[in-house]
A and B are shown apart, each in its own frame.
Chain A
Amino acid sequence: MRLQIKGICHSYDQVEALRDIDFGIEPGEVVALIGPSGCGKSTLLSIIGGLLAPTRGEILICDKATPEGCLNPLTYVFQDFALLPWRTVAGNISLVLEDHGLSKADRDARVAEVLEQTNLWDFRDAYPKQLSGGMKQRVGIARALAVRPAALLMDEPLSALDAQTRILLLDEFAALFARTGMTAVYVTHNLNEAVRLANRVVALRRRPGTIKEIHTIDIPIAERREGMPELIAHESALWNLIRDEAIAADKELENVA
């Protein structure tokens, strides 16, 4: 799926959150959105996902090719998992398949398939409260994969997790992107995640968020490893890019507090 973000501006009442955001996302590309706190990363993702109407501008789907059996082309993965506590793991996944005219057998087959893919089969009957944060996010990923999306929209999916789980899931995300070649927009404040997963990194300035630079990382995702000197160099370049913005944003937050 090819997406075009065209002249997106957004304001919350009197506060201007985003100004003139323009860039494209190519099929199979992973684009990370980074920037200081409050720069509008998650706002932009909500706009791309159709969960927030922009004040101005539009999101265009230029290439409507979707995977076979796709039920929801633009699919969200939430920072706080957004799992229904009254449904089991399998029930949470099944939820997003229930209103698409699939037979029960087809739904069960899809649920089983993504449970296997995400190593959740043994936990299919568990309720979210019985799972760790990492397992909950795996359920979030499984739920997203069940609809066979054309693009994943991931809103800081690792930020609510502990450091060890974050490393493990980061590897799993990298493997998923390398294996499926899925298009994704990945919001993060963690530069290490951005350089591990993204083909291009869109760095935003502090509020109102505008594009400071689009940074390309030319290493195939499958070949990237934790601690690779090239990745460290990219991470360092990105930090240099947003450091002043982050310091200024932090001061603004202090003044507000």
Chain B
Amino acid sequence: MSHDISEVRAERQSAASPASQVRFRATGFNPKANPVAAWGFFVAVIALWQLGSSTGVISELAMPSPVAVAKALWQLIVTGDLWLHLGASLQRLVGGWIMGTVAGLFVGFLVGMFSWARSPGVAFVSALFPIPKIALLPLFIIWFGIGEPSKFATIAFGVFFPTVINTFGGVDNVQRNLIRMGQSFDLPMWSVIRKIILPGALPTILSGFRISSSIAIILLIAAEMIGAQYGIGALILAAGNLYQTDQLIAGVVVLSLLGLCVSWLLGRLDRWLLAWR
């Protein structure tokens, strides 16, 4: 005997438990940026640090208070010492980074595009990349003397390898079908490189700039600590030798600000060159 469909539905409904809402399960794994929390955390750490210094929990000799650091920084500014040190550091940083980047881009493009450069290039980079570049500073001092060229060379050498790796990685990541498209329309090789490969590799190259600029700052400070009269690294080392911890931390703060400035500049460059994304 066949039941009417409405009867069957009614039977099923009465047999079922009371209706409940479907539980939303897709929570988490989606972190969002919160500028207020970022600044708040920063301010809270400084406030705690100042509190610790004021109450004597943190020894002034081991770690000067934020106020003392600010005073030391102000002193460096008004005496003009900061500009002397910062100017010397910036010169080395920019010069070394540009030399390493230009050479790295050139070699990276060769390795990325030409079979004859691929195997020797990859072997060369793999063998030399893991060497801590500061270990070569004594060698560069022998080659170029204790002056500026050895510092430029150390920074350039450190910047060169990540730039090569990111450049040829970027070239490798350019979609082959875009290159084939260019070839199918008979674009000359130089046009394929300039209009397809270079813009296609740019996102990876730019992310390589972030790594290479961090490496450049590390090598700059290390090189200045080994043999320089002026420079933020020299300032920090001299302050440490004299137990002027306020000046030492002021130098570190300048480094942090320098890193932030470089990161901001690269961010702007990113936004300008990769606006299409």
**Docked complex: A57-97 residues within 8 A CB-CB of B:** 71-72, 75-76, 78, 80, 82, 84-87, 95-96
Contact partners of B191 in chain A: CB under 8 A? 98-99
When chains A and B are docked, how far (Å) is the Cα of A82 from the Cα of B181?
6
Given contact pairs A51-B184, A75-B185, A76-B184, A82 touches B178 in the complex (Cβ within 8 A):
yes
Could you tell me the distance in whole angstroms from the C-beta of B184 to the nearest C-beta in chain A?
4
When chains A and B are docked, how far (Å) is the Cα of A96 from the Cα of B196?
12
Contact partners of B274 in chain A: CB under 8 A? 86
How many residues does chain B have at the interface if contact means C-beta atoms less than 8 Å apart? 19
**Docked complex: A141-160 residues within 8 A CB-CB of B:** 143, 147
* Contact assessment for A72 and B186 in the assembled complex, using a CB-CB cutoff below 8 Å: yes
When chains A and B are docked, how far (Å) is the Cα of A82 from the Cα of B192?
13
When chains A and B are docked, how far (Å) is the Cα of A89 from the Cα of B277?
15
* Contact assessment for B187 and A82 in the assembled complex, using a CB-CB cutoff below 8 Å: no
When chains A and B are docked, how far (Å) is the Cα of A147 from the Cα of B187?
12
* Contact assessment for A76 and B188 in the assembled complex, using a CB-CB cutoff below 8 Å: no
Type the 1/0 row for A173-200, where 1 means its CB is closer than 8 Å to any CB of B: 0000000000000000000000000000
Could you tell me the distance in whole angstroms from the C-beta of A213 to the nearest C-beta in chain B?
29
- Check if A121 is an interface residue, CB within 8 A of chain B: no
- Check if B183 is an interface residue, CB within 8 A of chain A: yes
When chains A and B are docked, how far (Å) is the Cα of A158 from the Cα of B150?
60
Binding site for A on B (CB under 8 A): 175, 177-178, 180-188, 191, 195-196, 199, 274, 276-277
Please give me the 7 A-B residue pairs with the lowest Cβ-Cβ distance, nearest first: A82-B181, A76-B184, A86-B276, A96-B185, A82-B177, A86-B199, A99-B191
Binding site for B on A (CB under 8 A): 49-51, 71-72, 75-76, 78, 80, 82, 84-87, 95-96, 98-99, 127, 129, 143, 147
Other A-B contacts than A78-B180, A85-B277, 8 sampled, CB-CB below 8 A, are A51-B184, A78-B181, A82-B175, A82-B177, A85-B276, A87-B276, A143-B185, A147-B185
